[in-house]
Chain A
C-alpha cells in the first residue's frame, strides 16, 4: 500500500454557525414585531453619542432598548443608560466584533414583544463586524466628518454589508474642510443606491430626517407582518 493524495469535495460555509443563530434571531425579532438596528463604525466616530441621542429622542414615542458591544477597556453602556432606556452591555473581551450568539445570550429573558426598536452597537471597528450577521433589519455604518471623505474607499466591505450610511459630527464639517459631495460620491461608488444621512448629535441637525426614516421602516415592518 502506498499513500496517494486525494481531494474530497465538501461545501461548508465557515460562518454557518453564526448564520444559523442569526436566522433564529431574525425569526424571533419578526415574531415579536421589533425593528432591530445595528451600528458599525470606527472608534471615535461619535457612535455612542449618536445612539444616546437616538434613544433619548425616540423614547417619548417608542419603546426602545439597546445592546452595546464593548471591549474590556470601554464602558459605553454606562453612558447610554443616561437615555433612561434599558441598556445591556456585552463585553467582548479582546474580540473585535459581535457575533450572533452573543446577541442571543444577551437577550435571554427579554420580552422583545414589549419593544418597538432594539439597537445593537457593535464594537468600534470597520473590518471584522462585516462578516457577522446579527439578525438585524438594518445595519447603519457611521463615519464622522473628522475621519475624512475616503473612509468608504478604505473599507468597501463594511459599506457593502451595511444598508444605510450616516455621516456624523457635521457641525465640524467646515472646521475640518469636509466635502459632503466627495464623501457622498465615495459611498455611492462602493454601494450604489445607499441612503445617506448627515447629522450632528450635538446640534441636532439632520436628526429629524433620520428618525422619520426609522419610524417609516418600523411602520412598513408592521404592515408587512400584518398582511
Chain B
C-alpha cells in the first residue's frame, strides 16, 4: 500500500498552493488514470489521515477516474480500451502498446471559498 504516501504528497502539494494564494481549500480535484498504479478507494480512505494537522484538514478529495486510451496503428486513431487486461484496439483487434491516456496522477483543480460582495 503506497496510497498513504501518495495522499500525503497530494496534501503537501495543495497546502503549498493554499499558502501561496492565501486561501482555504475545501476540495482537491485529482485526475487518476486506470494505469496510475493507485487504487481510488485506498487513496480516499487515506486522504483524511493525510490531512490531519495540515492546512487541508477537513477538505475533500474529488477523484476523476481516467480510462485508458491507446493509439491504434491500424486505425491510426486513439481508441478507448475496454479492459486493462487486453491491450487491443476495440474496433479492429490490433494489439496496441502506445498509451495515450491513463497514467495520470495529477492535481487539476482546487476548490476554495471566496468572499464576494453580497448582492444588493
Contacts and interface: CB of A to CB of B under 8 A. Distances in A.
Interface of A: 1-15, 17, 95-97, 127-128, 130-131, 153, 156-158, 160-161, 188-194
B6 A6 contact: no
Contact of B95 (A4, A10, A188): A188
Nearest to A17: B9
15 contacts: A1-B115, A1-B118, A3-B116, A5-B113, A7-B110, A10-B110, A12-B13, A14-B6, A15-B9, A96-B1, A128-B37, A131-B37, A160-B84, A190-B86, A192-B87
B27 to A, nearest CB: 9
B64 interface: no
A184 to B, nearest CB: 13
A contacts with B: majority SS: mixed
A7 B29 contact: yes
Given A10-B108, A189-B86, 15 more contacts: A7-B29, A7-B110, A8-B21, A8-B112, A9-B108, A10-B17, A11-B107, A14-B30, A14-B105, A17-B9, A95-B5, A131-B105, A189-B85, A192-B97, A193-B95
Contacts of B13: 12, 14
Q: How large is the interface on B (under 10, 10 to 19, 20 to 34, 35 or more residues)?
A: 35 or more
Contact of A97 (B2, B36, B107): B2
B96 interface: yes
Given A4-B114, A11-B108, A157 B2 contact: no
B84 A156 contact: yes
Shortest beta-carbon contacts, A-B, top 3: A192-B95, A130-B37, A131-B37
Interface string B19-62: 00101001001100001111000000000000000000000000
B15 to A, nearest CB: 12
Centre residue among B1, B87, B110, B118 by max chain A CB count within 10 A: B87
Contacts of A2: 115-116, 118
A12 B118 contact: no
A193 B97 contact: yes
Contact of A6 (B105, B111, B117): B111
Contact of A157 (B29, B35, B107): B35
A194 to B, nearest CB: 8
A128 B2 contact: yes
B66 interface: no
B106 interface: yes
Nearest to B39: A127
Contacts of A161: 37
Contacts of A8: 17, 21, 23, 109-112
B34 to A, nearest CB: 8
A185 to B, nearest CB: 11
